[in-house]
Amino acid sequence: MPSITIKKGWVIIMDLKEQALSLHKEWNGKITTTPKCQVKSREDLALAYTPGVAEPCKVIAGDKEAAYTYTIKSNTVAVVSDGSAVLGLGNIGPEAAMPVMEGKAALFKTFGDVDAVPICIDTKDPAKIIETVRFLQPSFAGINLEDISSPKCYDIECELKKICDIPVFHDDQHGTAIACLAAVIGALRFVKKDMKTAKFVVNGCGAAGSAIGRLLISMGAENVTMVDRFGALYEGIDANLDRIQSYLATVTNKEHKKGTLADIAKGADVLIGVSAPNVFTKEIIASMADKAIVFALANPVPETSYADAIEAGAAVAGTGRSDSPNQVNNVTVFPGVFRGAIDVRAKAITEEMKVAAVYAISELIDEKDLRADYVVPDAFDPRVAPAVAAAVARVAMETGIARIKVDPEEVRANTMKRVGR
């Protein structure tokens, strides 16, 4: 067991580095290929491979959709990265990104029974990444983009959504936004405040922060202000903005407020951080409105600790860490989103499907069970992936995105059975 020490409310695993390296060396990769068919005789060989394998080939040649019936395509997602924005490590390259992508694949399987293949591409050129993924499309039911730097991640996802007829989902953007908004809704319910009228401040206008801002607008929030190194974002600001930030400038901060985070956070109901360690000071949190909500999601060190946020006066707080209450974790999102999407052979993952996922997660906690330290379901709550899958599948069918019809409750039940929960 690793040795531990307590420092200001944090549990620090002293030999985490050594333990992680030792286990990764022992595993020699976190996933493997296991055949579903047995090949123990000449008859087995003739059926699984030549000459029998020619029969499904001929069927698929006549109808490409048959690949969903006769191959692994129906349950397989590509986890694609160029290694340009890996965790807090930055641009470390495709080889160094592999442990993260393998881990993502393991989570896909564990929480959603989705088979995922890590694909780390040795180019930083958006056009080449787009071309590579387009060429790989026939083998997969969906594409999960991961750890690709902004702003190019926006263009890569946008272009792939145009040219691919399978779901394309940048988890760093949308998985984070969905997980965060599910927690926000639970917190708002607990403190008896309303999404439409609450004052939101989002600190950090990168991929995750921008996605949170956009999803807040989609879900009806009318008072959202984005903050970054340049201060508050507003229409007409003299700053070097990417196209997503430029869009957000037109739909947020309608009062054209200017100033630093400390200025903008005064009187805020909800403060969300996807920025840098320790920037939410006790003074900033104390200046917020009564019954303030703080979600500090910088990884691995958040903008404030859970304990410090509560001590400063927040009614509800959460981080991305597993050692504190109200953890905001993407693992509550992407397994269920892809499970639901591929079960109905969806062509895309739409804004409506994302919103459905938010409510599916948040509604798992009954009003009577809400507490200051329990406003969002735990990552290991067995209800999460089935609920998200059913909600996503339902909306995909209602909006014409699905290729096939499946009862959402059947999707829920099958997901529960698949993941053994």
pLDDT at residue 14 is higher than 60: no
End-to-end CA distance of the chain: 28
Residue 370 confidence (pLDDT): 98
Specify the pTM.
0.94
pLDDT at residue 377 tops 70: yes
Task: Give me the chain's average pLDDT, please.
Answer: 95
Q: How far is CA 30 from the centre of its chain?
A: 20
Which pLDDT value is given to residue 10? Answer: 45
Does the annotation mark 154 as catalytic?
no
Kindly give, in sequence order, each residue whose CB lies less than 8 Å from that of residue 105, ignoring residues fewer than 6 positions away. Answer: 30, 31, 79, 116, 117, 118
In this prediction, residue 8 carries a pLDDT of 46
Residue 140: HSE in the Cβ half-sphere, 13 Å Cα cutoff: 25
Q: What pLDDT, on a 0 to 100 scale, did the predictor assign at position 331?
A: 97
Tens digit of each residue's pLDDT (9 = 90 or more) over 23-60: 999 999 999 999 999 999 999 999 999 999 999 999 99
Q: What is the pLDDT of residue 156?
A: 98
Model pLDDT, residue 7: 47
pLDDT band at 421 (very low <50, low <70, confident <90, very high): low
Neighbouring C-beta atoms of residue 266, cutoff 10 Å: 15
Q: For the segment 78-97, what is each residue's pLDDT rounded down to a tens digit?
A: 999 999 999 878 999 999 99
49 labelled catalytic: yes
Residues 152-198 have pLDDT tens digits of 999 999 999 999 999 999 999 999 999 999 999 999 999 999 999 99
What was the pLDDT predicted at 420?
85
Residue 367 pLDDT: 95
The per-residue DSSP string of 306-359 comes to: HHHHHHTT-SEEEES-TTSSS---GGGTHHHHHHHHHHTT-S---HHHHHHHHH
What secondary structure does DSSP assign to 15-81, as a single string?
THHHHHHHHHHHHTSS-----SS---SHHHHHHHSTTTTHHHHHHHHH-GGGHHHHSGGGGEEEEEE
How many percent of the chain have pLDDT more than 90?
93
* Structural domains of the chain sorted by starting position, each given as residue range(s) with its CATH number in brackets: 1-30 (no CATH), 31-35+51-166 (3.40.50.10380), 173-421 (3.40.50.720)
Residue 11 has pLDDT above 90, yes or no: no
Residue of 40, 58, 73, 104 marked active site: 104
Provide, for the chain, the percentages of residues in helix, strand and coil under a 3-state DSSP scheme, each rounded to the nearest 5. Answer: 45, 15, 40
pLDDT, position 1: 42
Residue 2 pLDDT more than 90? no
Residue 316 has pLDDT above 70, yes or no: yes
Instruction: From the candidates 17, 49, 254, 258, give the one annotated as an active-site residue.
Output: 49
Reported as a pLDDT band with limits 50, 70 and 90, residue 6 is very low
